[in-house]
Amino acid sequence: MLLSQYFFKTIKEIPNDAELQSHQLLIRGGYIKQVSAGIFTYLPLAVRILHKIKNIIREEMDAIGGVEINMPVVMPASLWMETGRYEVVGDELLRFEDRIGRKMLLGMTHEEGVTDLVRYVVSSYKQLPFMLYQIQTKFRDEPRVRGGLIRVREFSMKDAYSFHTKEGDLEQFYLKVYKAYQRIFARCGLPVITVASDVGMMGGSGADEFMTVTESGEDTLIICQNCDYKANKEVAKALQEYPHDILGNKQEVHTPNKMSIQEVADYLKITPAQTLKAVVYIVEEQMVMCVIRGDIEVNETKLRGYLKVKDLRFATDEELAQAGIVKGFATPVNLAKNIRLIVDETAAHTPNLVAGGNKINYHVKNVNYSRDYQSNEVIDISTVKGGDKCPQCGGQLHITRGIEVGNIFKLGTKYSESMGARYLDQNGKEQDIFMGCYGIGIGRLMASLLEIQGESKITWPITVTPFEVELLGFYKDKDSEVKATCFQVYQQLKEAGIDVLFDDRNASPGFKFNDADLIGCPVKIAIGNKSIQNGGAEVTVQNEEKIIIPIEKLVETIKNKMEILYEKLSIKRF
């Protein structure tokens, strides 16, 4: 491809509204153009990368038996009403009515659509198991778009769905997809880790996320420094050690104007871990008190998952007063029966805590679960902190950040049961189909490759680069021999099966090099009077030092250099 005939535009200045490195580079390099908040046009350079990523994904999905389909972006709301998600999912689901008043929506995910398809096709156990996948546009009306392609409203996703007769078969196939995802990201040159994650609105019995570790990520990750424990903060657990003190007698103490955990701890000369925190929420019009040890925060993702609700809100001062709860001095002791009490494991297992006295300026020492208050809901709703102990090995947990580039879910029978996707087993009895769900964000994967580079220029991995080689020709009209050499090399590279972009424009070396840094081909060849005088063509492979290669050995050398780059990603190119 001749760059003089290509459709692209580079920008020198860093866009004011682009905070993340990937957003800046993709705008400056002429890869994307913002059309609206979280909605982008992908220019030819980006499209070439996206095609390569999609092809890698297709190869790996096909290799584990996947069959590609294509479902519509626009779906009738009635499908989502069958599962109840139409009412549960918030405003990020874009709902509308068509011209005759039918309720419709834009698909942000396709569990309902694919389940409807499968119940149309499948009737017998003999048709199972199988996996369907698509690479399709999604729309999620995000309230806070961020970072260019990292969090958008319209995006392209590979979503796959597997269907099984039993849970054990789902577990085995889940592992196959897990390994296929590892191969996909490795072939794309993107290092990832996997972490246990919250199932969220998808539901099911378990989920894993594939994360690119970077400080620009929006997810908080908890990682053990001694073993393989890794989890999203939303579901992470920590090993807690509890004292075995003899239970003391309750004792009311005066704590004048001391309301916060730290104020009470300082006043009584104890640590926050010796206090009890009570947090009161309103959940679907019911008051819920959550109690947890004072040094730990309530993990609202865990709480929402346990309660199976989307929203929580703190009780207002008026609501607390009406319930007989004194703000700043709340306690689970003698709690009104109409208030639901949820107890974190740390509060239940730590003896002799200092709790609120439900009286202004008073707390109570030696409050103990079971003796002084009870609940049939003792669960883990704690937030893990850096430095906590690993639940697997007891080592120290470390906090970092990451970008989610893929996720996999064990859906079980959540969708098949509600939508009637069943099969007849060997005995002629109807059974619900077990399902798995597996997603990869295509644009986010592309952007994540730039987030991990840590540079103000682009260097794409060889497997996904828009062009494998960029040839820069430096000549003027009088340099007819240099020009002829450049076009000769360009033709030889193409004949050798190398995907090459030739910058044949009439522009200065500085201008061309700056554009080349934004186009980001991993192999660059520069040919001009100076390089020829020095012995041939100037070659740069990724970020290595420049070398001079004789023109007659150039194509062979470039192929060898490319082969090394491909082999690093376990791919045979030539």
- Are 46 and 520 in contact, with CB atoms under 8 Å apart? no
Structure tokens at 119: 């119940």
272: pLDDT strictly greater than 60: yes
Average pLDDT over residues 286-294: 96
The three-point CA angle 20-22-23 to 5° equals 65
- Are 391 and 146 in contact, with CB atoms under 8 Å apart? no
Sequence-separated (6 or more) residues with CB below 8 Å from residue 497: 574
Strands of 116-170 (E only): list them: 130-139, 154-164
- What is the overall mean pLDDT for the chain? 94
Give the whole-angstrom CA distance, residue 253 versus residue 553. Answer: 87
Confidence of residue 165 (pLDDT cuts 50, 70, 90): very high
201: pLDDT strictly greater than 80: no
Return the DSSP state at 453. T
- Are 79 and 118 in contact, with CB atoms under 8 Å apart? no
Buried b (16+ CB within 10 A) or exposed e, 528-546: beebbeeebbbbbbeeeee
What confidence tens digit (pLDDT) does each residue in 527-538 have?
Answer: 999 999 899 999
Give the whole-angstrom CA distance, residue 35 versus residue 42. Answer: 10
Confidence of residue 239 (pLDDT cuts 50, 70, 90): very high
Percent share of the chain, pLDDT over 90: 87
So what's the pLDDT on residue 132?
Answer: 98
Q: Of 65-69, 99-103, 548-552, 568-572, which gets the smallest average pLDDT?
A: 568-572
What confidence tens digit (pLDDT) does each residue in 31-73 have?
Answer: 999 999 999 999 999 999 999 999 999 999 999 999 999 999 9
Average pLDDT over residues 483-489: 93
In 97-246, alpha helices (H):
111-121, 167-187
So what's the pLDDT on residue 204?
Answer: 59
So what's the pLDDT on residue 146?
Answer: 84
- Are 201 and 386 in contact, with CB atoms under 8 Å apart? no
Task: Give the CATH fold of the 16-190+415-451 domain.
Answer: BirA Bifunctional Protein; domain 2 (3.30.930)
What confidence tens digit (pLDDT) does each residue in 130-146 have?
Answer: 999 999 999 999 988 88
In this structure, whether the domain defined by 251-379 belongs to CATH 1.10.530.10 is answered with no
- Are 289 and 341 in contact, with CB atoms under 8 Å apart? yes
So what's the pLDDT on residue 430?
Answer: 96
So what's the pLDDT on residue 455?
Answer: 75
What confidence tens digit (pLDDT) does each residue in 363-410 have?
Answer: 999 999 999 999 999 999 999 999 999 999 999 999 999 999 999 999
* Domain boundaries, given as residue ranges, for the chain: 16-190+415-451, 251-379, 469-568
Residue 305 CB burial class (10 angstroms; 0-12, 13-18, ≥19): middle
202: pLDDT strictly greater than 80: no
Give the whole-angstrom CA distance, residue 501 versus residue 524. Answer: 10
What confidence tens digit (pLDDT) does each residue in 114-132 have?
Answer: 999 999 999 999 999 999 9
292: pLDDT strictly greater than 80: yes
Sequence-separated (6 or more) residues with CB below 8 Å from residue 478: none
Asked, colleague to colleague, whether 16-190+415-451 and 469-568 share their fold, the answer is no
Confidence of residue 546 (pLDDT cuts 50, 70, 90): very high
Confidence of residue 200 (pLDDT cuts 50, 70, 90): low
So what's the pLDDT on residue 218?
Answer: 87
Model confidence, pTM:
0.89
- Nearest Cα to Cα of residue 68 among 133, 137, 158, 136: 133
Query: For the domain bounded by 469-568, which CATH number is listed?
Result: 3.40.50.800
Give the whole-angstrom CA distance, residue 101 versus residue 103. Answer: 6
Residue 6 CB burial class (10 angstroms; 0-12, 13-18, ≥19): middle
What confidence tens digit (pLDDT) does each residue in 343-368 have?
Answer: 999 999 999 999 999 999 999 999 99
Average pLDDT over residues 299-328: 92
Give the whole-angstrom CA distance, residue 162 versus residue 62. Answer: 13
The residue type of 206 is G
Query: In this structure, how many other beta carbons lie within 10 angstroms of the beta carbon of residue 249?
Result: 7
So what's the pLDDT on residue 13?
Answer: 87
